Each structure stands twice: as C-alpha cells, then as structure tokens.
C-alpha cells in the first residue's frame, strides 16, 4: 500500500540552497505550479546548466515529478515547500506581552497577558499569577496575524484542533486519534490541582498529543450550540481560555469515567454527561 523511503535518504537532498529554492519556486502564492528547466534554473539562481541538471536529479522523483510541461511538486515536495515557506523548521519567534481583552477565569480581573518564547505561547494572569495555557503557535501564525488578531487566531486554531481530534482525525497528519479522560498530570504544578480532570487526545499516526479541559470538547456539541443560540448568545465568541463563569465540571465517577459538564443561562441549566472517551452520552435541560 505504501512506498516508503528511509528518512535519511529522503531528507539528504534538501541540504542545498539551490534545491530548496527550486522547491520554493514551484510553490507560488496561489499553490503549486509547473515550471520548465530554464524557468527553474533562473528562479533558483543556478550558475551552470550542468550543475543545475545534477541538482534537479537529486530532487526527482521524491520531491519533483518531470512531465512534458516541465517540473512539478510531488505530495512530499508540496509539504516540504510549504514548511520552508511557513518557517516552521527555521524560525523561532519571541513575542512581547500582549494584553488579552477577556477576564481571567479564576480571579475575573482583566489582567491576562500572552507572551511567546520559541513560537510557544504562554498565557498568564498578572493578578492571581496563574498560568492558563502553554501552546505552540507556528511562526507563520505569529508573522501573518497582527498583535490584536493573534489571540483570536490561536483560539480558533486550538478549538478546531480539539474538535477534530475528538472526532477522530489528527490536524497534523490526518491519522487516527483516540481520546480518554484522566486526572491531570502533576508535572505542571503551577496550573494543576490534583483533582482536575482533563481530556487527553493523541494520534496513532504522528504522536501528536493535546490535553484540554473536558468542557472544551463539548463546546461544539449541537445541544450546547443550540442552548446558547436560544439565549441569543454565540458560544463561538467564548475563547478557550475563558468559556464563561457559568460552566462547571464535576466528576461523578472515575471508574468508569463519567464527568458532568453544566452551563447555565437565565436560570436554565444544560447538563452533559461525558464518558471515558470524551463523547457526550446524555443531555439534560432543566
Ligand atoms: Zn487571575
Ligand atoms: Zn497525527
């Protein structure tokens, strides 16, 4: 079913600037294109035709495919060219503190700030000094979103990651994911109280993992969306770091796992019972 090249063999041809420029030239702003030998030679700034032919041979057929119209990227070529363009393997972004408009979910003060170190965003409260989250955000995310827009972009990225992984697909590689509820690891003592439960999501394809509060995994459940809509609210307006003071999580049982997640608007309550794998097993409205 699969054609597999050893990683050392596949990555070896990339250690050359002319070749990385060839890959970049074949991925224009609108997507992959086909270019002739001479167009590629010009775009990559190669000196001699003979030398350039050698570089192209190193990239064909793993990253490039030769057709009658010229050279085009393979699937692996597109992925590598995108990675080069986005800076995901080459850029390390630090960001000065950005003030977050939402209040702290713990102390309700408007004192949240987000900083970035080596592409990873940390959000903490300057009032109660609690750390809310620590999440990687790719360099192109930092580069293309303005300072005001970047917290919203981070929110969207992770709310969709949680949603995708809860539904069984990995946002990094498309692999099969699984989910299970458990007590939070004590390795992050700053944020963790020993009774806190988390939904742990992981991918069998690439090893990507994500931990989040159980509440985040039910935010896009139809019962939640319609409950908020019926009260003239849009649950998508709530950022992942503060979904609202009205939410409560209670462990009803940890063998087997059953977590009650409730929310309340105008004295009406919605309760969702969540099972071991993070799926909603019952919904009550009262
Ligand atoms: Zn606080
Ligand atoms: Zn994956």
Domains and CATH numbers, the chain: 7-86 (1.10.10.10), 216-285 (no CATH)
The CA distance from 286 to 276, in Å, is: 24
Tell me the ligand closest to 161's alpha carbon.
2
Q: What is the pLDDT of residue 49?
A: 84
Packing angle of the helix pair 37-44, 49-59 (nearest 10 deg):
100
Please give the structure tokens belonging to residue 103.
Answer: 């209040």
The 10 Å Cβ neighbour count of residue 34 is 16
Backbone torsions φ then ψ of 250, nearest 5 degrees: -135, 130
For the chain, the C-alpha Rg in angstroms (whole number) is 24
Give, as residue ranges, everything with CB less than 5 Å from ion ligand 2. Answer: 170, 172-173, 175, 203, 205-206, 208
* Secondary element (H or E) of residue 52: helix 49-59
The CA 278 to ligand 1 mean position distance, Å, reads 28
Please give the structure tokens belonging to residue 75.
Answer: 């699937």
Of 105, 118, 55, 144, nearest in space to 240 by CA:
105
Q: What is the pLDDT of residue 216?
A: 94
**Tell me, what DSSP letter sits at residue 25?**
H
Q: What is the pLDDT of residue 122?
A: 96
Of 68, 58, 64, nearest in space to 32 by CA:
64
The CA 102 to ligand 1 mean position distance, Å, reads 11
Strand partners, 123: 114, 133
Q: What is the pLDDT of residue 207?
A: 96
The CA 175 to ligand 2 mean position distance, Å, reads 5
β-sheet with 280-285: strand ranges across: 248-254, 257-265, 268-275, 280-285
Q: What is the pLDDT of residue 194?
A: 60
* Alpha-carbon distances, residue 203 vs 7, 196, 219, 249, 250 (angstroms): 20, 23, 21, 25, 27
Class of residue 48 by CB neighbours under 10 A (exposed 0-12, middle 13-18, buried 19+): exposed
Q: What is the pLDDT of residue 185?
A: 67
* Secondary element (H or E) of residue 23: helix 17-25
Tell me the ligand closest to 127's alpha carbon.
1
Q: What is the pLDDT of residue 196?
A: 82
Residue listed under structure tokens 């990339």:
14
> Got the DSSP string for 251-285?
EEEETTEEEEEEEEETTEEEEEEEETTS-EEEEEE
The CA 207 to ligand 2 mean position distance, Å, reads 6
Q: What is the pLDDT of residue 3?
A: 81
Please list the rounded mean pLDDT of every run of 10 residues in the chain (286 residues).
84 92 87 90 86 92 92 94 90 94 94 95 95 93 92 95 95 96 69 75 96 94 96 92 93 94 96 96 96
The CA 204 to ligand 2 mean position distance, Å, reads 6
The 10 Å Cβ neighbour count of residue 275 is 15
Q: What is the pLDDT of residue 31?
A: 79
Q: What is the pLDDT of residue 217?
A: 93
Q: Which residues contact 168 (CB under 8 A, 6 or more apart)?
A: 176, 177, 178
Q: What is the pLDDT of residue 283?
A: 97
Tell me the ligand closest to 107's alpha carbon.
1
Tell me the ligand closest to 105's alpha carbon.
1
């Amino acid at each position: 079913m699969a054609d597999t090249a050893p990683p050392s063999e596949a990555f070896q041809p990339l250690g050359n600037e002319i070749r990385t420029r060839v890959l970049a030239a074949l991925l224009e702003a609108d997507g992959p294109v086909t270019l002739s030998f001479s167009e590629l030679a010009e775009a990559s700034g190669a000196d001699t035709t003979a030398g350039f032919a050698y570089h192209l041979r190193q990239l064909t057929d793993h990253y490039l495919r030769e057709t009658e119209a010229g050279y085009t990227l393979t699937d692996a070529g597109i992925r590598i060219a995108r990675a080069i363009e986005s800076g995901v393997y080459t850029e390390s972004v630090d960001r000065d503190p950005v003030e977050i408009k939402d209040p702290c979910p713990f102390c309700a003060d408007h004192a949240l700030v987000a900083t970035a170190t080596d592409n990873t965003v940390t959000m903490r409260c300057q009032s109660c000094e609690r750390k809310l989250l620590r999440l990687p955000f790719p360099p192109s995310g930092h580069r293309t979103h303005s300072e005001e827009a970047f917290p919203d972009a981070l929110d969207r990225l992770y709310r969709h990651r949680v949603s995708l992984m809860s539904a069984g697909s990995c946002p990094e590689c498309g692999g099969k994911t699984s989910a299970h509820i458990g007590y939070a690891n004590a390795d992050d003592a700053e944020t963790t109280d020993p009774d806190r439960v988390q939904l742990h999501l992981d991918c069998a394809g690439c090893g990507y993992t994500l931990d989040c509060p159980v509440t985040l995994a039910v935010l896009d459940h139809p019962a939640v969306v319609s409950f908020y809509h019926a009260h003239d609210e849009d649950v998508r307006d709530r950022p992942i770091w503060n979904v609202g003071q009205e939410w409560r999580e209670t462990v009803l049982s940890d063998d087997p796992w059953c977590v009650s997640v409730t929310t309340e608007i105008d004295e009406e309550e919605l309760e969702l019972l969540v099972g071991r794998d993070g799926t909603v097993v019952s919904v009550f409205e009262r």
